[in-house]
Chain A
Amino acid sequence: MSFPMTVVVAVKALGRNAMRTALTALGMIIGVAAVIVMVAIGNGARASIERQIRSAGSNVVMVNAGSGGFGPARQGQGAVTTLTDADAAAIRERVAGVRYISPALNTRTQIIAASANWNTLVQGTSEQLVDIRSWPLEYGAFFDASAVRSAAKVAVLGSVARDQLFGAGIDPTGATVRINNQPFRVIGVLTRKGQGAFGQDQDDTAFVPYTTVQKRLLGVTHVSGITISAEDGVPLERVAAGTADVLRERHRLSGGEEDDFMVRTQEEMTSMLTSTTTTMTYLLAGIAAVSLIVGGIGIMNIMLVSVTERTREIGLRLSVGARDVDVLTQFLVEAVVLSLAGGALGILLGGAVSYAVTALLQWPASVTPQSIALSAGVAAGTGVFFGFYPARKAAALDPIEALRYE
């Protein structure tokens, strides 16, 4: 029998038991939709982490106090006090290829404006942070080096902090806010950067000189991290290695002693984070694959029932000249049509659910052509794999036995 005709016959046969076909396909639909959604969620997480790390600045090397964790924002109780701004100055002086550098010391606190107050992350940095992150201003200017030297009480607001304290779109430069009961002058507002991964809002923040955080807000002399941006064309590994050498020497660490700081390049952070999310994606896809297998077993089950029910039909087909391959392909094509139809609907459903996840939960789930191709391939493969046994059973039937079957 010609192939198109076989497909027509398969579709008709499936149509004869529409309800059963639909229920069997449902297993496949759910399985494929699960794969699509899980992969979309995993991919979305990875994409947004990558985006967030990129938005932290390019060519960036980060140094953290202590020997664990990442990101200059690490702070709080039990913060390690091994890093100082003198370390930053030494790195600036002695490591080749450093373009911008900024110590980091953050605190989460309440900011009080005339008619509102707002709890936000106050980040202490040098004047160069705005260059490291190439972050333009909406109003005013970032603080300068002299403000850092004098531990000036000036603040540059992220757009969300400005919205909360003064109202959306307002230019608050020149206004005074109170942080820790001290008056700070607002000298600028940063442009909107958007949401980072996992709902972390990069714009819900305020920048002040790190010296101000040290002396006026926390009363400490250390910093929690140092952010370095390398000059173009300088390998980040070399800057990272140079930084580590300088710090080990300054911290008088002998050969066997462990680092009391942690140097990471942006690439390392990216790959570390993305490998975590990749593992997560595989895990999710694996769980989803289990439901695909369950769907496949459903197809096998129904095909076996179908072969038994249609034994006489098979006998008749054999008696009018069907070859065993004709019977085999007929049932195989039926299984594949069933699983592919289920797969196609599953892709649509998975796409719709991913869209809903993005729209309702703000989770950037992204359906990729690869995951669609993968699901379609797996669906067809499942059909062939789980359809083969029943089809072979049908093809092995003896014509006269099959005709006699009751």
Chain B
Amino acid sequence: MSAAPLISVRALTKTYDLGETQVRALRGVTLDIMPSEFVTLTGPSGSGKSTFLHLIGCLDRPSSGEYLLAGQHVAALDTRRLAGVRNRQIGFVFQGFNLLPRTTALENVELPLLYAGGVPARERRERAAAALAAVGLGDRVRHHPNQLSGGQQQRVAIARALVNRPRLLLADEPTGNLDTRTSIEVMGIFQRLNESQGLTIVLVTHEADMAEYGTRTIAFRDGLVRSDVPVVRRRTAAHELERVAGDAEAA
């Protein structure tokens, strides 16, 4: 590979100090992720996947080691600049959606633009509406989260993560709360974003088949990288959906 990596971590560790005991959640992770990769992180519960994602998402700081995001040393940034990085370069999708209750889908999606500064109200609305349309929710802009299905809520969260056009999308078990069919639809959205816009995606999942939607799978164990392999037989959402539909008919 010739291009510069988007994410470059060296000997990254994270230790939680609980007073009596210390939890070594990450024990020295070294890896590079290139632009336009679709990386899936797998591994048993407690292996450090979420911790790793939070570190590369600039939501938390490592205990030691180096992290370069697009060639920039993140450790050197103060909290204010980190907020800017989270705002402009990274989009985050959580397992629990984390939408603001009693707030419309459109306003939820607008949120990152409010903190971007200098985006006029009209442009905010247009971009939020466009992001919602891109995840197939153009007709649900006025709905509140409690008026949407789980899959729809997660799509609102994806639209929110994308509205400020980040280079990197991080998702922590985004399909963990969804049924199979809806999960495949959501993975389809990720695949489309990755292929059509070259968006770099790092996605945590503990379902083996979900890991096969990406281009590369990294398995964690006990805070270390156990394996790091390209996906050989990649699943595509369109194909899987047909298969699921076929199974349903057969049954």
Residues of A within 8 A of B (CB): 1-2, 5, 16, 312-313, 315-326, 398-400, 403
Return chain B residues, CB-CB under 8 Å to A315.
Answer: 98
* A320–B87 touching, CB < 8 Å: yes
Task: Identify the 10 closest CB pairs spanning chains A and B, nearest first.
Answer: A321-B87, A321-B115, A320-B112, A323-B83, A400-B59, A399-B59, A400-B60, A321-B86, A316-B98, A1-B114
Which DSSP category, helix, strand, loop or mixed, fits chain A's interface?
Answer: helix
* A1–B59 touching, CB < 8 Å: no
In whole angstroms, how far apart are the Cα atoms of A323 and B82 in the complex?
Answer: 9
Return chain B residues, CB-CB under 8 Å to A316.
Answer: 98, 100, 111
Can you spell out 8 A-B residue pairs with CB atoms less than 8 angstroms apart? A2-B117, A16-B102, A312-B98, A321-B84, A321-B115, A322-B115, A400-B60, A403-B59
A399-B98 contact, Cβ under 8 Å, with A321-B86, A321-B112: no
Return chain B residues, CB-CB under 8 Å to A318.
Answer: 59, 83, 86
In whole angstroms, how far apart are the Cα atoms of A398 and B60 in the complex?
Answer: 8
* A317–B94 touching, CB < 8 Å: no
* B92–A320 touching, CB < 8 Å: yes
* A399–B60 touching, CB < 8 Å: yes
Return chain B residues, CB-CB under 8 Å to A16.
Answer: 102
* Chain B 101-118 interface 0/1 with A at a Cβ cutoff of 8 Å (1 = within): 010000000011011110
Q: Is B79 close to A, CB under 8 A?
A: yes
Q: Is B49 close to A, CB under 8 A?
A: no
In this complex, which of B83, B84, B98, B117 has the most chain A Cβ atoms within 10 angstroms of its Cβ? B83
Return chain A residues, CB-CB under 8 Å to B114.
Answer: 1-2, 5
The smallest C-beta distance from B137 to any residue of chain A, in angstroms, reads 18
A16's closest neighbor in chain B, by CB? B102
Choose from B79, B84, B94, B112 the contact partner of A403 (Cβ within 8 Å). B94
Which DSSP category, helix, strand, loop or mixed, fits chain B's interface?
Answer: helix
In whole angstroms, how far apart are the Cα atoms of A181 and B59 in the complex?
Answer: 100
In this complex, which of B79, B92, B114, B117 has the most chain A Cβ atoms within 10 angstroms of its Cβ? B114
Return chain B residues, CB-CB under 8 Å to A399.
Answer: 59-60, 86
The smallest C-beta distance from B217 to any residue of chain A, in angstroms, reads 25
* B160–A320 touching, CB < 8 Å: yes
Return chain A residues, CB-CB under 8 Å to B116.
Answer: 321
In whole angstroms, how far apart are the Cα atoms of A399 and B92 in the complex?
Answer: 12
In whole angstroms, how far apart are the Cα atoms of A5 and B54 in the complex?
Answer: 29
Choose from A317, A324, A398 the contact partner of B80 (Cβ within 8 Å). A324
In whole angstroms, how far apart are the Cα atoms of A326 and B114 in the complex?
Answer: 10
Return chain B residues, CB-CB under 8 Å to A5.
Answer: 114, 121
Q: Is B27 close to A, CB under 8 A?
A: no
Return chain B residues, CB-CB under 8 Å to A1.
Answer: 114-115, 117
Return chain B residues, CB-CB under 8 Å to A312.
Answer: 98
A321-B88 contact, Cβ under 8 Å, with A316-B100, A400-B54: yes
B50's closest neighbor in chain A, by CB? A400
* B86–A320 touching, CB < 8 Å: yes
Return chain A residues, CB-CB under 8 Å to B59.
Answer: 318-319, 399-400, 403
* B83–A322 touching, CB < 8 Å: yes
The smallest C-beta distance from B146 to any residue of chain A, in angstroms, reads 13
A310's closest neighbor in chain B, by CB? B100
Return chain A residues, CB-CB under 8 Å to B88.
Answer: 321
Return chain A residues, CB-CB under 8 Å to B57.
Answer: 319
Return chain B residues, CB-CB under 8 Å to A400.
Answer: 54, 59-60
Q: A2-B117, A320-B86, A403-B59 are in contact. List 13 more A-B contacts (CB 8 A).
A: A1-B114, A5-B121, A312-B98, A319-B57, A320-B92, A320-B111, A320-B115, A321-B112, A321-B116, A322-B115, A323-B80, A325-B80, A403-B98
The smallest C-beta distance from A6 to any residue of chain B, in angstroms, reads 9
Return chain B residues, CB-CB under 8 Å to A2.
Answer: 114, 117
The smallest C-beta distance from A303 to any residue of chain B, in angstroms, reads 19
